[in-house]
Amino acid sequence: MKKIKLIYLLFAVMFVVVSCSEKDDPTEPTNKTSKKLTFEKESVGLFYGETKEVKILTKAGKVTATSSDAKVVEVKVSEEGDKLMIKGVKNGKAEITAKDGVNTVKIPVEVRIIELAVRETETEVGKNVTKLVVIEKFNGDASKLKVVSSDESKVKAKISKAIIENQENFKDKKEMSVIEVTGVEVGEATLTLTDEARKEVKVKVTINNSLGLSVTSLNITDCEVHDFTIQGGSGEYKLKYDYKVLSKKSYSGEPNKYGFIAVAKGETEVIVSDRNDENNKVTLKVVVSENANLGSDDKFIVNCKKQLVLKDGVQLTGAVVVNDKAEKVSSTVFKGNTNVTSIDFKNVAEIGNSSLQGCTGITKLIFRDLKKIGYPFGTSPGELALKEIYCYMDTPPTLGSWALYNMNFANVVLYVPSAKLDTYKASDFVTKCKELGLKDENIKPIQ
């Protein structure tokens, strides 16, 4: 019996030894040591005031990070715990130590200082004119930039933000830090610009009586008025611009304020000069987008002046219906077209003189909102195919200068609202048409 007990005891001891041996085998990897702590970068270089993100690729646990010199480099782990946020505080070198509870990784960091740079170190500005000097590069935060004028009786300056165009492509723009330089009195002064790293650059400013503008370019994408002001000079100005692309607006009592409204898509330059010194001038660049209109269809565009404009490459033939957003028809839309047979002018209230000149194939005209008529077929209309005119307005159109000049109404039928037949017969419009051959029996009510 004792032997049996001894055998049982021996087997129990062997089982415990084997079990403990399997559990504590040092060659078996644990969950904690199965992953290393790795980053997307082994070292980091950055500029003064710059912050870079370094992604954590793998980790065994929650990551913490410290800097060997917080006066040179600051570091923190993102709220998501997936990257390090490293900021350069001062010129120099430091080392970041990152830990995940199992692994430790060191990342060397170098912080460099760049040279403070402006787009121009010498510039001219007119008296009472504000000009922008672009700050191309600087260290630290933009809010720490400072500028000082050597003589504020000549030049005043301050730091601000502005949308600045690319020097090679003025359509490409971005927000940048700038020095606003304002000429106070004719003469010279020096501006001193410093950044957070105490880097310094000087800008020499010459103040004269030259012209300046509140903006250097306009990018027009809508039908709003885009204003600008002229600075400096004698106070009397002349503007030279492409009227096919832009329409000018002046402001009573403000001789130095103007505005432009889009007329057609295009790129152009506006030349602003002093009326008392034509050599004193400045240029405004303007880009008008194809979106700057009130509406369009497959044939027409209605520009911001409510004028009907024919799309490039479109050939009008047969019966034409005008876009209902148009209130005016420019002289180039139909002029010389012999293939159009009828036109429904919809909401057009004004037809340009000679706008239908040479349109000898038109047999029918439909007016729904015409307010005034001049000589749409020109002063020498010649032989026309016109047979019918429909006037849906309750009020007959008034007559402009040289109204319906040299037209022949002998074979034309005029249709008017039945309730306004007498009103039309008593109007100057019908009187003029009768002088040109319109017969009484050919004045008929619209059915």
What are the structure tokens assigned to 382, written together?
């010649």
Residue 277 and residue 302 in one domain: no
* CATH code of the domain covering residue 348: 3.80.10
92, 112, 132 - which closes a domain: 112
Confidence (pLDDT) at 23: 43
Confidence (pLDDT) at 126: 85
Q: How far is CA 196 from CA 46, 49, 121, 144, in A?
A: 15, 8, 20, 5
Among residues 18, 164, 141, 155, the alpha carbon closest in space to that of 87 is found at 141
Residue 192 and residue 100 in one domain: no
Residue 299 and residue 430 in one domain: yes
For residues 170 and 363, the model is more confident at 363
Among residues 216, 213, 157, the alpha carbon closest in space to that of 182 is found at 157
On whether residue 3 sits in a domain, the answer given is no
The reply to whether the predicted model has a pTM over 0.85 is no
Confidence (pLDDT) at 293: 93
69, 84, 112 - which closes a domain: 112
What are the structure tokens assigned to 282, written together?
């400045």
Confidence (pLDDT) at 40: 96
Residue 283 and residue 344 in one domain: no
Sort 35 into a burial class: Cβ within 10 Å, 0-12 / 13-18 / 19+.
middle
Q: How far is CA 296 from CA 197, 225, 351, in A?
A: 55, 20, 19
Q: Mind listing the pLDDT tens digit for each residue in 387-412?
A: 999 999 999 999 998 889 989 999 99
Residue 434 and residue 301 in one domain: yes
On whether residue 8 sits in a domain, the answer given is no
76, 96, 112 - which closes a domain: 112
Q: Mind listing the pLDDT tens digit for each residue in 79-133?
A: 999 999 999 999 999 999 999 999 999 999 999 999 999 999 999 888 888 889 9
What is the pLDDT confidence band of residue 9, given thresholds at 50, 70 and 90?
very low
End-to-end CA distance of the chain: 131
Residue 311 and residue 410 in one domain: yes
Position 209 pLDDT exceeds 50 = yes
Which residue reads 């065994």 in tokens? 60
What are the structure tokens assigned to 426, written together?
């008593």
Q: How far is CA 92 from CA 76, 108, 137, 144, 445, in A?
A: 19, 11, 20, 20, 93
On whether residue 15 sits in a domain, the answer given is no
Cβ count near 205 (within 10 Å): 25
> At 275, which amino acid appears?
R
Residue 65 and residue 173 in one domain: no
Contact assessment for residue 345 and residue 365, using Cβ atoms and an 8 Å cutoff: yes
Confidence (pLDDT) at 408: 94
Residues in the chain: 447
Confidence (pLDDT) at 32: 47
Left if phi > 0, otherwise alpha if psi is -120 to 50, otherwise beta: which for 266?
left
HSE-CB at 79 with a 13 A cutoff on CA atoms is: 0
* CATH code of the domain covering residue 221: 2.60.40.1080
CA 322/CA 368 separation, integer angstroms: 11
On whether residue 17 sits in a domain, the answer given is no
Residue 202 and residue 264 in one domain: no
Cβ count near 91 (within 10 Å): 14
Confidence (pLDDT) at 107: 97
CA 172/CA 214 separation, integer angstroms: 19
Lowest mean pLDDT among 230-239, 241-250, 280-289: 230-239
Confidence (pLDDT) at 27: 36
Residue 253 and residue 165 in one domain: no
Residue 229 and residue 189 in one domain: no
Total structural domains within the chain: 4
Among residues 333, 285, 334, the alpha carbon closest in space to that of 166 is found at 285
Residue 301 and residue 394 in one domain: yes
Mean pLDDT within 19-24: 44
- Which one of 13-22, 31-40, 338-347 scores highest in mean pLDDT? 338-347
Domain span at residue 64 reads 32-112
Position 20 pLDDT exceeds 70 = no
Position 11 pLDDT exceeds 70 = no
Q: List beta partners, residue 58.
A: 38
| Strand (E) or helix (H) holding 425 | helix 421-425
HSE-CB at 218 with a 13 A cutoff on CA atoms is: 28
On whether residue 177 sits in a domain, the answer given is yes
Average per-residue pLDDT in the chain?
A: 89
Mean pLDDT within 149-177: 84
Cβ count near 163 (within 10 Å): 12
Q: Mind listing the pLDDT tens digit for each residue in 306-342?
A: 999 888 889 999 999 999 999 999 777 899 999 999 9
- SS3 state of residue 232: coil
Sort 348 into a burial class: Cβ within 10 Å, 0-12 / 13-18 / 19+.
buried
On whether residue 61 sits in a domain, the answer given is yes
CA 264/CA 262 separation, integer angstroms: 6
On whether residue 25 sits in a domain, the answer given is no
On whether residue 342 sits in a domain, the answer given is yes
Residue 280 and residue 359 in one domain: no
* CATH code of the domain covering residue 55: 2.60.40.10
